[in-house]
Structure 1
Amino acid sequence: MKKVTLLLSILISSCANSDKKIAEQIDQLFLSEFRPDQPGAAVLVMKDGKVIFEKGYGIADIATKEKITTETLFNTGSISKTFVSNTILSLADEGKLSLNDSLSKYFHDFKNQKIANRIKIHHLLTHTSGLPDNRRDLLEAVYLLTAKDEENWYPIEQNDSLLFEPGSRFEYSNPAFNGLALIIEKVTKKKWQDVVAEKIFKPSGMTASKITDGAYPENGVAHGYIDVLGEFSERDYGEEPTFAAAGNGGVWSSVKELAKYEMALRNGVFFKKDLVEHSRSIMRYSQWADSVPPFIGYSWFIGKTEDGAKMISHTGTQGGFHADYVSIPEKGVLYVVLCNRPFPREEFRKKVFEIMGVRLQNLVIPK
């Protein structure tokens, strides 16, 4: 018995030392990139289901010099899409909608109802609807600085043709998630932001996270910056397009709260675990015609490690905010970084996982 106890003590001590070494190397990696007097990042890493590293780097606000912590709220950019997706799935799990519902059921003003009838909710969730983003002709227009979900979706409803048959190809779509947000409202008769708070934030324990379709929250938040001729220039709401279109990028959260979100997903808090697994698996359409094999779940991007473990990820980019969220449930691993200025996201993702002894394949990071 004493020998067993001794062996267990040695094993536990070895694991603790290994985690400490990993944390030290990750810290050095981020220290090499972010200066304490400049915009920076918050980082959290989980291994074997527990947090082994969390730290803030740099400042959240150049004007006040407020330091970034792991509780600082950042705009998460397109990671927000996963919150819309999971709210849709929660409503489907409750029988309040079907992922096979056509858009024609919810959008009676769609110019071409034949097209609306061919596109299903699951096509919006997987960026495979074929709907052209005809807002691109308007991206320089002033109204896009304040255009909310409905205003961003309205031009999409005017489409009279498709880029491809729904389910046959991938075309990343921001307005698809503005449309999904509006479907949530039509089904629940509530503001979609309130429904996300009710079905995702509250059961996760995400008490500080917020969704805005206007100016950023007032307290404990980072401001976004970009480099302009060697100086940091603020890029927040009212300074960059799309901030007001909350369905595709309106969630503000911290690395601490995103870790709660991930654990709630793994534990089946929002809906059944088999639906969680299905939503975070590659959706394979029989009519797929793209030369690139499918790599998308319900809003999540799916890759794998060299030893075959599933990698689930999403990135976020909006104004001066850049984010990366990578989960490998099989290994109990989560890596989340939220930044308030650009940084070499792909390079850092690879390096962090190499430090943990995990080599990634099929690295999918949408631009």
Structure 2
Amino acid sequence: MAQENVSSRIDSLFSSFLKTDEPGGAVLIAKGEQIIFSKGYGIADINTKELITPHTIFNTGSVSKTFVSNAILLLQQRNLLSVDNNLLKYFPNFKNKAIAKQVQIKHLLSHVSGLPDNREVSKNHDYYLTADDEQNFAPVQQADTLEFAPGSRYKYSNPAFNALALIIEKITGSKWQQFVRNEIFAKANMTESDITDGAHPETGVSHAYEKENGTFKELDYGEEPTFCAAGNGGIWCSVTDLHKYYLALQKPAFLNKEIIAKSMQVKIFENWSSEKEPNNGYSWFITKTINGLERIGHTGSQGGFRANFQFIPEKKIFVGMLFNTPHNYDILMEKIEQILKEENYL
């Protein structure tokens, strides 16, 4: 009965703002392997009117960073790198080699590198429509100074994950996309997932839109820059596959349990000097539910796509949301948690 109540209430929540004839989204809520609720709302493509289902593929934006992070940690597990290695080891052409020596892989993973994002994406919009990971990280290698000492404070960095993607390639000798497909997608049985690699996937994929003056306009690959900067936002998934990813992290299917656990712990470096307490591990963000339980996850935003991947370890609750038009996933997460709490799932 409780599950029926949850399903009915979650459905009412999403039906209240996602229309059947407009871009919308998909949501999946589970307790461990048991799916509590899974449904799609709206249309994936305005031209074809294809309906969104739990198997529709969306760009996940920065949720992609967790896959890159796990791939790096997998290489460390195989003794092919150490997160203590510095950037000069992998990028010998850094203009200021002293900077490259200071910044370590672990700083990139936790957004504390101090490397400036000097790409000027808005100024060079057309160039960044097709710029890949290497082209996105190239300007950063020309930096003269750091914005702060690595480890001393937090500043979210997209180019850091372009660098991490390139490090995977330098070590494996193949494209990082293929490494993730083989070592994470395949191990997690993620058959409804893909990665931007020169072009975006097209089969079963939704397009993203933004409403402007009452009309939906496409805002994804080809309109919005950095879609080809795959290391920071190139993973495409269905909510069904996001759940499989969650389960693979719990088993675990591709990394040992200790490494996964450590990656999801808040990282505080010895020289931390910011007044703000950190709340992130290696790519993961560690926050609290409405009733004070630990919540681990990542959100994503790219073009008109929005993504939210969250789980609550103590209760084995997973929530995955994917949209092809902008919606406030933080407020939705709170509302979902309120329903789960009232129905004794939290």
**TM-score band w.r.t. shorter chain:** over 0.9
- Provide Cα deviations, 1:158-179, integer angstroms capped at 9, x if missing partner: 0110110000111000010000
The reply to whether residue 43 of structure 1 matches residue 27 of structure 2 is: yes
- Provide Cα deviations, 1:3-43, integer angstroms capped at 9, x if missing partner: xxxxxxxxxxxxxx111101110100000010000000010
User: TM-score, normalization: structure 2?
Assistant: 0.96
Tell me the amino acid that sits aligned with residue 107 of structure 1.
F
Tell me the amino acid that sits aligned with residue 293 of structure 2.
A
2:207 aligns to what? 223
Paired residues of 2:84 and 2:106 also in contact (CA < 8 A): yes
1:151 aligns to what? 135
1:184 shift after superposition:
0.1
User: TM-score, normalization: structure 1?
Assistant: 0.91
2:110 aligns to what? 126
- Provide Cα deviations, 1:288-333, integer angstroms capped at 9, x if missing partner: 1111101111001111236553210111100110111111122110
1:199 aligns to what? 183
- Provide Cα deviations, 1:162-216, integer angstroms capped at 9, x if missing partner: 1100001110000100000000000010111000111110000012211013332
2:75 aligns to what? 91
The reply to whether residue 269 of structure 1 matches residue 217 of structure 2 is: no
User: C-alpha distance in 2, partners of 1:212/1:39?
Assistant: 22
Aligned-CA RMSD value: 1.4
User: C-alpha distance in 2, partners of 1:267/1:84?
Assistant: 19
Task: Give the counterpart of 1:324 among 308, 318, 324.
Answer: 308
Q: Which runs of 4+ in 1 moved over 6 A?
A: none
TM alignment of 1:1-367, pairs within 5 A:
17-136=1-120, 139-305=123-289, 308-357=292-341
Paired residues of 2:32 and 2:247 also in contact (CA < 8 A): no
Over 3 Å counting, the alpha-carbon distance change for 1:138 and 1:110 in structure 2 is farther
**Larger Rg over CA atoms:** 1
Paired residues of 1:214 and 1:243 also in contact (CA < 8 A): no
Paired residues of 2:239 and 2:322 also in contact (CA < 8 A): yes
**Stretch deviating more after TM superposition (286-295 or 210-219):** 210-219
1:7 aligns to what? none
Paired residues of 2:121 and 2:225 also in contact (CA < 8 A): no
Structure 1: give runs of 5+ residues left out of the alignment: 1-16, 359-367
1:51 shift after superposition:
0.8
1:135 match: secondary structure? coil
User: C-alpha distance in 2, partners of 1:158/1:90?
Assistant: 29
Tell me the amino acid that sits aligned with residue 11 of structure 2.
D
Percentage identity across aligned positions? 51
User: C-alpha distance in 2, partners of 1:179/1:346?
Assistant: 28
**Stretch deviating more after TM superposition (334-343 or 213-222):** 213-222
1:98 shift after superposition:
0.3
Over 3 Å counting, the alpha-carbon distance change for 1:28 and 1:347 in structure 2 is same
Alignment: residue pair count: 343
Structure 2: give runs of 5+ residues left out of the alignment: none
Paired residues of 2:32 and 2:318 also in contact (CA < 8 A): no
- Provide Cα deviations, 1:93-117, integer angstroms capped at 9, x if missing partner: 1101000000010000101111100
Paired residues of 2:24 and 2:52 also in contact (CA < 8 A): yes
Paired residues of 2:290 and 2:338 also in contact (CA < 8 A): no
Tell me the amino acid that sits aligned with residue 290 of structure 1.
S
1:352 match: secondary structure? helix
